[in-house]
Structure formats: structure tokens, C-alpha cells
Amino acid sequence: MTQPVLSVRDLEVEFVTRRATLRAINGVSFDIAKGEVLGVVGESGAGKSVTGLAVIGLIDPPGRISGGEIQLSGTRIDHLPPEQIRRIRGKRIGMIFQDPLTSLNPLYRIGDQIVETIRTHTSLSESAARRRAIDLLAEVGIPAPEKRIDGYPHEFSGGMRQRVVIALAICAEPELIIADEPTTALDVSVQAQIIALIKRLGRDHGTAVMLVTHDMGVIAETCDRVAVMYSGRIAEIGPVQEVVRNPLHPYAKGLMGAIPTLAGDDKRLVQIPGAMPRLSAIPPGCPFNPRCALAFDRCRVERPEPIRQGTQSVACHLFEPAKETAA
Amino acid sequence: MLAFTLRRAVQAIGVMLAVGVIAFAMFRFAGDPVNQMVSIDTSAAERASIRQSLGLDDPVLVQFGRYFINALQFKFGVSYQFRLPVSSLLAERMPATLELAICATLFAMVCGILMGVYSALRRDTVLARLFQAVSLIGISLPTFLIGILLIYLFAVTLGWLPSFGRGEVVKLGWWSTGLLTISGLKALIMPSITLGLFQMTLIMRLVRAEMLEVLRTDYIRFARARGLTTRAIHFGHALKNTLVPVITVAGLQFGSVIAFSIITETVFQWPGMGLLFVQAVQNVDIPIMAAYLLMVSLIFVTINLVVDVLYTVVDPRLRATVGRAS
């Protein structure tokens, strides 16, 4: 197997507050191969965005990476000094944020913002960078790019602005794109276009994509593999078809059961009782145990480690071969 | 854009008209001007002829119209105490006040922005905290006290700087400047600091607060995710966004710098319009007071207009709204 573009091992992220140290990410491991799209789903506060920010080195104090390893194409990047991780940001890892309306500096022409980014990472001249900016705008589907390049952000619609943001994220041809809920702030018809665009760019350039979202429809349509996060851990990870059709972890089952279908049986959607625990009150053992219908004694004391089940990997005591009968 | 500027200009004219009415009213409510011009033993007939020669027995509206037309030509009448045209008195004093106000504003802007940016970017350093403490002093101490303390320290105790006056001035046409001689420059230091200190602390606190706000925005986070250098993010992206409100405040404060120069000019015996005004108040010299009122409001209104236009230059979003509205 070839080397993955991104390899995260046992990542831990902590936020040090006056009262306590809160662990937002606790032992997360995953790989993304070249050209692969990994979806990351979970409820708000599950640690999806923090994982993305940790990879690109943008965890602000009081937060910090307290353990584990992040490798980009075989090089470890989680302990680099700020200046070196800055050189990687935007060049080798591109990032797209949730809200395109606020991601662009309102006082600068979009062309200037793209040219600035290109020239930060390459040795192109001003005019060459501008030509490249026009090509990029054309590539992300902005009509009449040679005119629009001199527009200000407020002159673009939400969907068009997200295209500009994507152009900014890919302008140095990164190996990895982290898209943090790129479609949440857009309306549905535009969402599909943006998702198709990200997918096409990943395919054309062989870019690995980490797509953070809570929209299962987007995941099913776009991703090759999907990771389900809960309370700062990966509950289940596997190929998207398997995880959506045949989820193993009780939480993933609940999550998939909550997706309405067009098939139209009138059954009520499954609902997971309760809410995700706050970071300051994560229960011992499996963090999902208070909400899990299948929880047994061991779930309340021992933290489950990921277990391989075919192509999937699931962190649940139910799947431990020796203990299966005990359930 | 042009329509916007024109509309603002019309509003400005309205404001100036209202101020003109107030200035004119001062003549009518602050005693009989004839009494102030003649001695006690002037006969009633003589008083009546003076009254008639000055046009004081015409109807009020005619008098106001005359005052207004004269004011448009910068004729503000004759000073009671100096027996000289007010306009030439003001013109003679104006360079001193403007030089002082401009130096004070420059001092306030440069120091205020530098200190504000520093204390936003290096929030927890000792120097940033010192700036915060100093700014508290600048905001709470009254101008005249700062002036007197500076005089005590640098003029009386250390003897480095002159305690009053403008030093030697050089005439450039009708404009007299203190910027070209050493003694003129030395004389400018303390009054400028005294006059600009409040504005400086205001700008510093504003820049600091705005900068911290801007650094939290999504586009700064995205700029960091694009891998831009810290320098480009702080000074290219954050500072420009910070300056939008700073322009307004600094612009409007320039008006109050000129207005507040009354106190500073009195403390330092600075031969500017403010000192002239204070003398006029002491001697009930209404033409000077009225003209000064008109001058200061003209400056305020002009600055407001310039600030509005500058706004649209810095912020492209306003250009769009302005364009749509007109």
C-alpha cells in the first residue's frame, strides 16, 4: 500500500482552562490516501473541527496538541515551529471554512487576496500570479474570471464566494484539503454544486480531502470513507457504503437511523436519547454508555479500543471477539 | 458617489446656516453694541447717528441678511477691543492654531496607532500594560493640569523647553510658521503633547480594541490557514480593517483639537485663535466670538464631509451602498 497523504495517530488535543484541563480530542487515529475523500461526521462538539484545525496547526491557546502524531506524506508536522508550519499551511494543506461570507477580507479585491497567497508560497511574478489567479477562478467555475478578479467580496453571492475560498485553498496545489462544513452556510442547490466542485478537484489533482460535516447526505454522495466521531473519539470508521448501510457502533446506528429517506415508510425516525456529554463531564469507560441501549457493565468502566470488523473499524465492546457472548 | 458628496455638502450648508443664526443672535442678546463703542458722556443724538451708520436700526431680517452676506466674504465686522477687522485678526492668529492642531493630531495618530497595535499584538507584555496605565492617565487628567505639569518639569525644573509662546516665527507670505526655526520647534513640543494626549489615548484604546476584535474574525483565521506571514496578516489585513473606525474618530477629534486648543493656548500663552477667543470673552468682544464660532463650525463641518468621503475610499462596501442609494 502506498504511503497515505495524511496519517493521524493517537491524536490528543487539550484545552487548559483555569478550572480544569479539558480533553477535546482523545486518541484519534486515521489515514487519508491520495485522491481519497474522508468524511468526518458527528454532533456539534464531537471534535470534528478541532481535529481539522489540529492537522493544519491552527489550534489557538489555551488549546494545544498534547499527544499523538500527525504525518503529512511521511513527514511529522505536529511539532514543527510556527514558521515552518506556516509554510505548510496554504501550500501543502489547504483549508476551507464554514462561512464564505466572512472568510474573505472585505477590504481587498479577491484577485489581490489570491495573488497574495500565490506569491507567499511560490516565486511567481505579480503578473504570472495574476494569470494563475484567473485560471484558478475559471477552474472553480466563476464566469468571466478576468473581469471578476477585480471584484470585492461583497459583490459575490454566497456560493460564488465559497468558490473563491476554494480557489484560495487550492492555489498552491496542496496535497490535502480540509473542508470544515463547506456547505452548511449555503442553500441546498448551491451546496450540491460546491460538493461536486470539491469532489472534481480532488479527482483531477489527486488531492486528499478531509470533509468535516454533519450532513449525512453530503457524506454519502461525496466520500470514499467516513469517520463517525463522538466525544473526541472515533466511534467507527470505514468505507462509506458499509458505514451508511450497515453501521456497527450503536451511536453510528442511531445516527444513520436518523436520516429521513425518500422511500417514504411512515415510521418515526430513530432518535438517540439524551445529549452528548460536555467536555468537563465525559463519563468513564465508553463516552456513549449513558445513551446506549446496549451498554453493559464493562462499558461503564473500560474505554473501548478500535476493533477491526471487515473493512470497518469500531470502538465498541460489543465487537470484542472474546466478550461477544457476555453481551 | 458625486451625488452622495453633494447631498452631504447641502446638509453641511444647512448646519452652517443654523450656526450663523446663533452667531448673529449673540449680537442681539449680549447687550447694546453701541454702549460698548462709545464713552459714557456721548450724547443721545450721537448714539443714534452711530446706530444708524452701523445699520442697527434696520429690521432684524435685513441685518441678518447683511451679516450673512458679509460672512460669506469673510467680513466679520470690527473688533471692539482692537478696532481692527476681525477677519484680519483671525487670519493673523490662524497659522499658530493650525500648526499646533496639526502637530497635536499627528502626535496623537502616530503614537496612538503604534501603541494601540503594540498593545493588541503583545497583550501580556509589561510594556503593553504600561501603555494601558498611561492611557488611563491621559483620559482622566484634564488638559490644563497636564500642561502645567509639563511646564513645571521641562521648563521650570529642567529648563529644556520654553514655557510659553511660539518662539521665532518665519513669514511665508501671510502665513507665519514656527516650523522652520529651532526655537519655534522647541516651543511646539509641549503644547502639542498637551493638546494631543487625550486624543492619543483615545486612539490607542480604540485601535487596541478594534484590532483585538478584527484578529478574532473569520477572514483573519482564513488568512492564517492560507499560510500568510504573521506580518502580512497583522499589518496588511488586520490593521487596514482596524483603521476604518479610527479614521472617523481621528477626523472628528481634529475638530475638537482646534476647539480645545483654547485651554492649551491659554496655558502656554500660544498666540493662536483660542487665546484671541479667551481675550474676546473677557472683554465681551462679540464680533470675535461670533466669527470664532463660525470658523470652528466651518472646520467641523468640513472635516465631517472629508471623513465621510474618506470612508468610502477605504471601505469598498460603502461605495456600493452609496452608489445604490444615489
**What are the pLDDT digits (tens) for B274-299?**
888 888 888 878 888 888 888 888 88
Helix (H) / strand (E) element for B131: namely helix B126-140
Q: Output b/e per residue, A56-86; b: 16+ Cβ within 10 A.
A: bbbbeeebebbbbebbbeeeebbebeeeebb
Q: How confident is the model at residue A322 (pLDDT cuts 50, 70, 90)?
A: low
Q: What is the mean pLDDT of residues B140-157?
A: 86
In angstroms, the CA B270 to CA B262 distance is 9
Q: What is the mean pLDDT of residues A217-224?
A: 85
DSSP state of A89: B
Q: How confident is the model at residue A325 (pLDDT cuts 50, 70, 90)?
A: very low
Cβ–Cβ gap B226/A108 under 8 Å? no
Evaluate if residue B68 carries a pLDDT over 50.
yes
Please report the residues numbered 61 through 100 in chain A whose beta carbons come closer than 8 angstroms to any beta carbon of chain B: 86-91, 94-95, 97, 99
Is A143 in contact with A150 (CB distance < 8 Å)? Answer: no
pLDDT value, residue A321: 66
Min distance A173 CA to chain B CA atoms (Å):
12
A271 exposure class (CB count in 10 Å sphere: 0-12, 13-18, 19+):
exposed
A150 phi and psi angles, rounded to 5 deg: -95, 10
The CA R_g of chain A, rounded to the nearest whole Å, is: 21
Query: ipTM score here?
Result: 0.83
B19, B20, B21, B24 alpha-carbon torsion, rounded to 10°: 120
In angstroms, the CA B53 to CA B105 distance is 45
Range of A45-49, A89-93, B249-253 with top mean pLDDT:
A89-93
Cβ–Cβ gap B227/A121 under 8 Å? yes
Q: Residue type for A60, please?
A: D
Min distance B239 CA to chain A CA atoms (Å):
11
A52 exposure class (CB count in 10 Å sphere: 0-12, 13-18, 19+):
buried
In angstroms, the CA A188 to CA B154 distance is 70
**What are the pLDDT digits (tens) for B222-234?**
888 888 888 888 8
From chain A, pick out residues whose CB is under 8 angstroms from the CB of B224: 58, 86, 89
Helix (H) / strand (E) element for A21: namely strand A21-32
pLDDT value, residue B322: 54
From chain B, pick out residues whose CB is under 8 angstroms from the CB of A94: 225
All cell numbers assigned to A140: 472553480
User: How much is the pTM?
Assistant: 0.77
Min distance B310 CA to chain A CA atoms (Å):
14
pLDDT value, residue B326: 42
Specify the pairing of strand A233-239 against strand A312-314: antiparallel
Q: Output b/e per residue, B136-174; b: 16+ Cβ within 10 A.
A: eebeeeebeebbeebbeebbeeeeebbbebbbebeeeee
Q: Among B218, B227, B317, whose Cβ lies nearest the Cβ of A102? A: B218
**What are the pLDDT digits (tens) for A200-213?**
888 888 899 999 98
A16 phi and psi angles, rounded to 5 deg: -90, 115
DSSP state of B160: -
Range of B85-89, B117-121, B309-313 with top mean pLDDT:
B117-121
Cβ–Cβ gap B226/A97 under 8 Å? no
